[in-house]
Every structure is written in C-alpha cells, then in structure tokens.
C-alpha cells in the first residue's frame, strides 16, 4: 500500500507538467507555417452542412472548392497546390470544436469561417487566441469584428452598420415619406447583428416610428408579428432573416390584413427560392441588397461563365442554388489566393498577414476566374475587403441587381 503514494505523486507531477506545457506556454514560432509543404498549402474551412444555416455552409464549401480547383488548374500559387479541409459545424460548440480540429489536428495554414455569424461569433475568441490567419466570409456579427484583430480578415459581407444603412436607404427610396417602419428580425446571431445596424440607421431618421418584431429560426407562422404591424399601420418592413423566413412573412401578410407593403430584405433572404413562396405575382414592393454584383439567373457574361463552372462540377443545381454564398465563397478564395501569392516565400502566419494587408483590388480574374464579386482591398487598419452592396429587386420573375 505504501508504494501507492510515490506513484500517484509522480503521475500528478507528470500531469501537471504536461498541463503547464500545454496550457501556459505561448505558441512558438514554429507553429506559424503549419500546413505548408513543398507543394501544398492546406486551408481549413468550417460551416453548417446540416441544420437551419446549411444554406450558408454548404454553398460556402462548394464555392471554395470550385475556386480551389480553378486555382490549382492554373498551376496553384507559386508552385503550391491548395488543399481544402472542410468541417461541418452548426451549433456554436461544434464551431469551436471544428476550429480546434482544423488548427490543432489538421494543422491548416489558414482558417476560413464559412459559417455565418453564429459560427463566427463562437470561434472568435479561439482564432484570436491562436493567431491563425482567419478569413471571415459571411459573419456580420460585431463579435468577430470588434475589437480589431490582426489575424482576422473579412470578405464580401460588410459589417451590419453598412448593410443596415443600405436597407434603410432603400425604404426611403421606395417610400420617401414613410413614417412607420417595421423591423422583423430573427432571434439568432446574424439577424440580431443586422437588427442593431438597422436600428442605428433608423435612429438618424426623424419622426419615424419603429416597430420591432422578432421570430425564431426556421419560423413558418408570422401571425403575431404581422398583426402587430397591421395594428400599428406600418408602411414598410425591414426583414432580417433567411429567404424562407422572409418568404413566409411576405406570403402571409395579406392573410393578416397587411397590404401595400414595402419589404426590404437582408442579403441572406435575397434568393430566387423566395419567389415560389410568395408567388411571382406578389413580388411588387420587395427589395433587398445583394453582396455581389450579379444574380445567378442574370445573363451578364461573368455570372454565365460562373454558372457553367458550377454545373460542370456539381451538376444541375437544386432550387435556390447557386446562391450568394456560393458566389462569395468562390470569389473570396481568389482573394485569399492573391494574399498567399503576395506572401511569396514567406509562408508563415506573420508573413501571410502582412502580405494580406497590402492586397488591393483582388478578384478572380487574377487567376483566370470570372469576376462575380466586387474586388477586395485591405490595409493594416482595415481588414474589411468589400463594402459595396448592390440593390436588388424582382424583375421578370427573377431577382436582379438593379443598381451597383
């Protein structure tokens, strides 16, 4: 029995030593070029493939992969091919786990957050701690943006104050003397971020009464929200949520006595799949902003070329695909490629970050792809690649960008 003590003590000592080694030591410089080999750069990405935000993550994965294929077909970056490791993550906990797995187990060089605000918010602390170069594609949430982090860059989705301002402007373009404006926002992460931006922009408008209503993710019945708008005689509604949520709200509006309404939708709701929900004949007065200059169904040459590439790889698209997240995932990967190319031989985290901060007007055509997004530029103090938004409306049965 006496032999017990030393053993226990030794194992505790060992464990504590390990603990100290793991928990307290700062990351050494050698971790900084993980995932880079002679002929390969491993990039990791996470997003939801299942669940209510799968309409963000799955297109993100497909868009990034399509771009990776295109870049590799052009010979890669300075002789190195890109390899994508994508991890499914829906809940915040899964997002942290996926980020940990990608950085610590798969040893990726760059982490792409293709998950929307929920995942981006959850992973924010982790990526700040590790310092891994991170590209936030879709998260509008302030949690990933503030305070400024040297290693975190943002793509086509601008912060909520920009998109919120744009949406409010669209209302007053359609109804210049609107006095009662409704805000219909989901209770989950990105609609809440947009809602904050909307309320900030509405505050600047004098004599405008704002009616705020919320709904849960995946809501299909908007009775209580629409009745509240009807009772308070709201003239225009700003919707922050997914296309299905916005679609059913607009569809049910006349059933609850809400007519002649102007609807302005968040970019994530601007999707062709919304049209069969509300019916092509009821699309008057529905507007939205779009994060890229073209809709998939438009006939401009870059987007036509993009659609061809998509179909060649993934076959006939299901309803609502490719969507804005496909396009943004695609074009952003080219922006990342431009940063990697600029870093040249210095493929360390620090090297990539400082190269990234000098990237100007990066676009897919730099690597032979069609330019389906606004070009992105960065600086050491501004990591937001894109701040432009297109104004969109439904014309001839499809969404179209009517002003860039």
Answer whether the bond into residue 309 is a cis peptide, omega within 30°. no
Residue closer to other proteins, measured from CB, 293 or 322: 322
Q: Shortest distance, CB of residue 343 to other proteins, whole angstroms?
A: 26
Residues 336-395 contacting other proteins, CB under 8 A: none
| 91 near other proteins (CB under 8 A) | yes
Should residue 37 be labelled a site residue for other proteins when binding is judged by CB under 8 A? no
Q: 245 and 268 in contact (C-beta within 8 Å)?
A: no
Among 224, 232, 365, 379, binds other proteins (CB under 8 A): 224
The SS3 call for residue 30 is helix
Q: Are 384 and 166 in contact (CB under 8 A)?
A: no
Residue 326 contacts other proteins per CB under 8 A? no
> Using CB under 8 A, which of 31, 37, 40, 100 touches other proteins?
100
For other proteins, what does the binding mask look like between residues 56 and 85, x meaning CB under 8 A? Answer: --x---------------------------
d(CA 168, CA 321): 27
Q: Cα–chain-centroid distance for residue 277?
A: 24
Give the Cα separation of 154 and 353 in Å (integer): 13
Selected binder of other proteins within 37, 69, 83, 126 (CB under 8 A): 126
Instruction: Check binding of 52 to other proteins (CB under 8 A).
Output: yes
Does position 256 bind other proteins by CB under 8 A? yes
Among 9, 27, 146, 220, binds other proteins (CB under 8 A): 220
Residue 107 tokens read as 């040893």
Taking contact as CB under 8 A, which single stretch among the options 168-176, 233-241, 246-254, 294-302 is the one that binds other proteins?
A: 246-254
| Binding of other proteins by 93 (CB under 8 A) | yes
Spatial distance between the Cα atoms of 265 and 185, rounded to a whole number of angstroms: 10
Is residue 219 within the footprint of other proteins (CB under 8 A)?
Answer: yes
Question: Is residue 348 a contact partner of residue 117, using CB atoms and an 8 Å limit?
Answer: no
Determine, following the binding rule CB under 8 A, whether residue 105 of this chain makes contact with other proteins: yes
Query: What is the spatial distance between Cα 187 and Cα 202, in angstroms, rounded to a whole number?
Result: 19
Q: Which stretch binds other proteins (CB under 8 A): 12-20, 64-72, 202-210, 293-301?
A: 12-20
Of 8, 18, 260, 379, the residue at the interface with other proteins (CB under 8 A) is: 18
3-state class of 352 per DSSP?
Answer: helix
8-state DSSP, 205:
S
Is there binding between residue 218 and other proteins (CB under 8 A)? Answer: yes
**First-to-last CA distance in the chain?**
80
**CB 297, CB 319: distance < 8 Å:** no
Residue appearing with tokens 């870059």: 302
- Closest CB to other proteins among residues 54, 208: 54
325 binds other proteins (CB under 8 A): no
Residues 158-187 touching other proteins, rule: CB under 8 A, are: 186-187
Closest distance to other proteins from the beta carbon of 96 (Å): 5
Q: How far apart are CA 204 and CA 59, in angstroms?
A: 36
**What is the C-alpha R_g of the chain?**
23
Q: Is 398 in the site for other proteins (CB under 8 A)?
A: no
145 binds other proteins per the rule CB under 8 A: no
d(CA 374, CA 160): 18
**Stretch of residues binding other proteins (CB under 8 A), selected from 161-169, 204-212, 252-260, 288-296:** 252-260
The angle formed by the CA atoms of residues 32, 156 and 94, to the nearest 5 degrees, is: 60
What is the size of the binding site for other proteins (CB under 8 A)?
Answer: 76
């Amino acid at each position: 029995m006496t032999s017990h003590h030393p053993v226990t003590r030794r194992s505790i000592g060992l464990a504590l030593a390990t603990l100290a080694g793991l928990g307290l030591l700062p990351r050494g410089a050698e971790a900084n070029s993980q995932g880079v080999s002679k002929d390969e750069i491993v990039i990791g990405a996470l997003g939801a493939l299942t669940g209510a935000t799968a309409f963000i993550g799955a297109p993100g994965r497909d868009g990034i992969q399509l771009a990776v294929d295109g870049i590799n077909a052009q010979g890669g970056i300075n002789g190195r091919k890109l390899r994508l490791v994508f991890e499914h993550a829906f809940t915040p906990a899964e997002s942290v786990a996926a980020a940990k797995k990608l950085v610590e187990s798969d040893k990726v060089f760059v982490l792409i957050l293709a998950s929307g605000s929920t995942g981006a918010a959850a992973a924010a602390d982790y990526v700040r701690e590790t310092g891994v170069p991170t590209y936030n594609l879709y998260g509008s949430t302030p949690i990933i943006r503030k305070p400024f982090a040297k290693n975190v860059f943002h793509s086509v989705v601008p912060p909520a104050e920009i998109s919120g301002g744009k949406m409010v402007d669209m209302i007053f373009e359609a109804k210049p003397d609107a006095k009662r404006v409704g805000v219909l926002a989901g209770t989950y992460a990105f609609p809440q971020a947009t809602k904050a931006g909307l309320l900030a922009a509405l505050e600047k408008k004098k004599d405008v009464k704002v009616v705020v209503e919320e709904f849960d993710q995946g809501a299909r019945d908007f009775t209580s929200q629409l009745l509240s708008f009807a009772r308070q005689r709201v003239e225009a509604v700003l919707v922050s949520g997914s296309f299905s949520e916005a679609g059913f709200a607009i569809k049910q509006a006349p059933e609850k006595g809400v007519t002649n309404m102007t609807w302005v939708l968040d970019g994530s709701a601007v999707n062709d799949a919304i049209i069969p929900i509300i019916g092509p004949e009821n699309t008057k007065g529905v507007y939205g902003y779009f994060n890229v200059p073209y809709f998939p169904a438009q006939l401009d040459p870059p987007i036509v070329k993009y659609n061809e590439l998509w179909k060649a790889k993934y076959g006939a698209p299901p309803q609502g695909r490719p969507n804005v997240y496909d396009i943004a995932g695609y074009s952003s990967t080219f922006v990342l490629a431009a940063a990697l190319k600029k870093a040249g031989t210095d493929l360390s985290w620090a090297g990539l970050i400082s190269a990234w901060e000098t990237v100007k007007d990066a676009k897919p055509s730099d690597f032979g792809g069609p330019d389906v997004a606004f070009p992105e530029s960065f600086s050491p103090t501004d990591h937001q690649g894109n701040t432009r938004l297109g104004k969109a409306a439904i014309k001839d049965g499809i969404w179209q960008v009517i002003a860039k």
